[in-house]
Structure formats: structure tokens, C-alpha cells
Amino acid sequence: MVKICCIGAGYVGGPTMAVIAFKCPAIEVAVVDISFARITAWNSDQLPIYEPGLEDIVKQCRGKNLFFSTEVEKHVSEADIIFVSVNTPTKTRGLGAGKAADLTYWESAARMIADVSKNDKIVVEKSTVPVKTAEAIEKILTHNSNGIKYQILSNPEFLAEGTAIQDLFNPDRILIGGRETPGGQKAIQALKEVYAHWVPEDRIICTNLWSAELSKLAANAFLAQRISSVNAMSALCEATGADVTQVSHAVGKDTRVGSKFLNASVGFGGSCFQKDILSLVYICECNGLKEVANYWKQVIQVNDYQKNRFVNRVVSSMFNTVSGKKIAILGFAFKKDTGDTRETPAIDVCKGLLGDNANLSIYDPQVTEDQIRKDLSMKKFDWDNPIHLQPMSPTVMKQLNVVWDAYAATKGAHGLCLLTEWDEFKTLDFKKIYDNMQKPAFVFDGRNIVDEQKLREIGFIVYSIGKPL
């Protein structure tokens, strides 16, 4: 029986390993983490992450060939294949702060593997890492090897949150990079055999290590670039009377462009797009490629511009002041079908409105009050460094109210901001909401999900991204 161990039981490690266990009953999969709380949750009825379809799979495999444990060293030493899926956040201090990927967690995992291994291992980079990381990992492992042989593979993950299980069941591609030596090729084959249990062979791409590492950063940069492109267009649409949904539909119909990922929004969020582009920018700079670095930097700058533009629109529409006004925030997660708030645009929008003295009433179906308060107390990039948590100022505490219902959030409000495209927001009774709001009642749709015509007929003043006012 092949034994797999995955270090890091997060948004990637948990779902990915659950699907491997589900699809490969003859493989024993252990997911380990230093976080006791996370492992306890994985072993309970309340999983640590919300992801449609995940609970069902975990329940079917847990205790059979899928195990969650804090006994990191034991499972690592027993495994044949070790996936490393630890976090790789943006550095907050020192060389490259604000751009470079922080590989502290990765390095400590690699050193631990070297310490406890007693037989040859395949070590798989699952985390998103800077190109050439495998070389560093190889050095750490081989210089501490005690005769044990390691093969390093790069097998980046392309799942998106909210659709993780669907993406893992039916991936566009699986990418495996390895050394072009007989040992490297043998390791690639071993990992390929795991995925071949359910992924058609023509969707498994094998490359050299550096191509695999860089392809992951490139894929996220290309995806984010599409969003910044359409968001930049949305500003021009508002200035000219064009409608961004019509423009993106027309542009996306060109099969060379394609229609996916062209939805204008309040800005992209999530733990990876910004972090990975910043990492790419840093790598370009380190390689003396200033122009290339500046090109990709612009994707982030447009995203920041879009979030600011949204806040400015809210304040300027409401007679240039939101001071003391109640504003309902519907949706806090960075996208629908997840409770994840890492780098959610809602943080910047809420901070902007709080800065202008608004009173916020926030509702998200999957995000807890505790999480929202934490997010609004943190500095940029600090979400992966909980030690930097600032206590919330008493004034901001008072300005913030978190509720468990969209109707409660909007009751008595002057304005309503839609920041996450949750399905339940599409079917709200807007007449009822209007009747209970202050007048004039404003709707700022950051996701273009409402029927603005209908809302205008009810009496709302509506602002939708990239649409005529």
C-alpha cells in the first residue's frame, strides 16, 4: 500500500487529500498539521473550511484511508510520497517585505522531513512557491540526508475555492514537474499513477521543475489580469455610457479571448492572486526585469484602484458624507460559496467607509462576527501573522455591527453595498428592504447581481459596476 502524507491541512491540503483518498481506496492518506485546532475540526462534524461537497467525501473516507493528525513526524517518516501544502504568505518584514513569498513554513517542513526520514521519499511541492524553490529544498534535504534519496516534484494546485471538489474531480490539467534524470522521471511516473486513478492521461502534463513552478504563478497572474482588464474597462464604461456586461459579452464571444473570468467586480480578493503576482514581481525584479515587473504590478494597482473607486462612489453619491449613516454590507467573503475572507475586497471597502465615519451593519452567510472583527483590525498582509493583531479601537467597535440576516442588516440603512455574489442575495425581497430603509435609499452593487431596472422602479438609487447610472 502506497502511503501519502500531506503537511498542511488547509484549504488545499484538506480537500486535495480527501479527493485522493476518495478516488484511491488502496492508498492511505494522512493529513498532518501543527495546528491542533484545525486537526480537531477536521476530525469533527464541523470541518474547518466550508466547501460544497467536501463534508460528504470526508465522511466517506475518514477513518478508513483518510486520517487527520497532529503527529506530524510519525506520518512523515512512514510516508512514501510527502505533499507539502503549507502556507506561503507575502513577507511582512526584512528583504523583499510586501512582495516576496515567505518560505519560513516551507523550510521548517523540509528540515523536519530531513530529520525524521528513514527511507527514500518523493517530496511534492503543492504550495505555490517562487520558481527555483525546489533547488533550495533539494539543498536542505540532500545536505541533511544521511544517505536517504529524495526526489522533489512540483505539482501546483489549480483548484478555486467554492468549487474545490468539482475542480479536483474534473481538473483542466494536472501539472507535474520533475528532474530530467531517471530518478526524477521515475518519481513523476509514481505521482502520475496516483492521479491516473481518475484523471485522463492527456490531462496530466509533465514538465521540468522550473516550468511547473513558474506555470502556477503565470496562471494566477493571467487570471487576475483578465479581471483587472475588465475592471479597468468598467471605469471607462461608467465615464462613457457603455455597459461593461455588454462589452465583456461581446469581447468574450471571440473564441481567442473566451467568456470566462470577465465579470467586472469591486475587485478580486482571495489569499493567492495578489500574493502570487507580488511574488512574480519580486522574482522579475531580482532577475533585473524591471519592465516585466512593472507590467504585472499594474494588475494589482488596477485592483486597488477599483476598490478605492467603489468607496469613493459610495461616499460621493451619498452627498459626500457617510458620517453617522448606517450602511449595510451584504457579503464579506472574497467570493460566494466560501467562508474565506483572506484579502477579500470587503476589508478595503469596509475600512474605507469606517474611515469616513460610517456605521456598518455586516451580514455574510458563512463568515463569523469574530472573523470580521479580526479582519478589520489587521494591517495589510498580516492575516497570516496573528501575532500582529491590533486591538480594535473603541470607536471602530461602536461603528461596527455584525448581524445574521440581510433584512436586519438593511433595516434603517441609508445605503446597501453588495460585496459578495451569494445566490441568496439575488432573490432578496428588495421591496421589503426598500420600505425599511432611509430615503433616498442607495444600492451599490459591487458584483453586478441585481436587476438594476427593477430596483430603480422600486425607488432605489442604484450604482452597478461599469453600468450607466
Residue 49 interacting with ligand UGA (CB under 6 A) = no
Find the binding residues for ligand UGA in span 206-265 (CB under 6 A): 220, 223, 227, 261-263, 265
Does 342 show up as a binding residue in the annotation?
Answer: yes
How many Cβ atoms from other residues are within 10 Å of residue 140's Cβ?
17
Among 151, 215, 248, 271, binds ligand NAD (CB under 6 A): 271
Shortest Å distance, C-beta 12 to ligand UGA: 8
Q: Which stretch binds ligand UGA (CB under 6 A): 88-96, 152-160, 292-300, 366-374?
A: 152-160
Q: What are phi and psi of 331, to 5 degrees?
A: 100, 125
Kindly tell me which of 168 and 353 has the beta carbon lying closer to ligand NAD.
168
Distance in Å, CB of 68 to ligand NAD, minimum: 11
Stretch that binds ligand NAD, among 21-29, 33-41, 256-264, 371-379 (CB under 6 A): 33-41
State the nearest-atom distance from the C-beta of 466 to ligand UGA, in Å.
12
SS3 124: strand
Angstrom distance (rounded) from CA 22 to CA 209: 28
**Gyration radius (Cα) of the chain, Å:** 23
Query: Alpha-carbon dihedral of residues 349, 354, 359, 360, nearest 10 degrees?
Result: 30
Q: Which is nearer to ligand UGA, 169 or 407 (CB)?
A: 169
AA letter at 219: A
Cα distance between residue 280 and residue 176, in whole Å: 20
Cβ(45)–Cβ(1) below 8 Å: no
Angle at 163 between CA 262 and CA 13, to 5 degrees: 125
Asked whether position 151 contacts ligand NAD by CB under 6 A, the answer is no
Tell me: does residue 35 bind ligand NAD (CB under 6 A): yes
Binding of residue 15 to ligand UGA (CB under 6 A) = no
Residue of 42, 50, 83, 105 that binds ligand NAD (CB under 6 A): 105
Going by C-alpha positions, the residue among 418, 447, 448 that lies closest to residue 433 is 418
**Spatial distance between the Cα atoms of 428 and 445, rounded to a whole number of angstroms:** 13
Of 61, 237, 272, 417, catalytic: 272
By the rule CB under 6 A, 159 interacts with ligand UGA: yes
Does position 267 bind ligand NAD by CB under 6 A? no
Question: Of 227 and 278, which CB lies nearer to ligand UGA in the complex structure?
Answer: 227
Helix, strand, or coil here: 253? coil
For 168: left if phi > 0, alpha if psi spans -120 to 50, otherwise beta; the answer is: alpha
Residue in the block written with cell 486520517: 67
C-alpha span between 338 and 336 (Å, rounded)? 6
Q: Which residues pair with 232 in a beta bridge?
A: none
221 contacts 31 by C-beta, under 8 angstroms: no
72 binds, among ligand NAD, ligand UGA, none (CB under 5 to 8 A by kind): ligand NAD
Size of interface with ligand UGA, in residues (CB under 6 A): 20
Rounded to 5, what percent of the chain is helix, strand, coil? 45, 15, 40
Shorter beta-carbon distance to ligand UGA: residue 117 or 263: 263
Binding site as annotated, residues for NAD(+): 8-13, 33, 38, 86-90, 127-128, 161, 272-275, 342
Q: Which residues bind ligand NAD (CB under 6 A)?
A: 7-13, 32-35, 38, 72, 85-88, 105, 108-109, 127-128, 157, 159, 161, 271-272
Q: Which residues bind ligand UGA (CB under 6 A)?
A: 128, 157-161, 220, 223, 227, 261-263, 265, 268-270, 272-273, 334-335
Catalytic residue set: 272
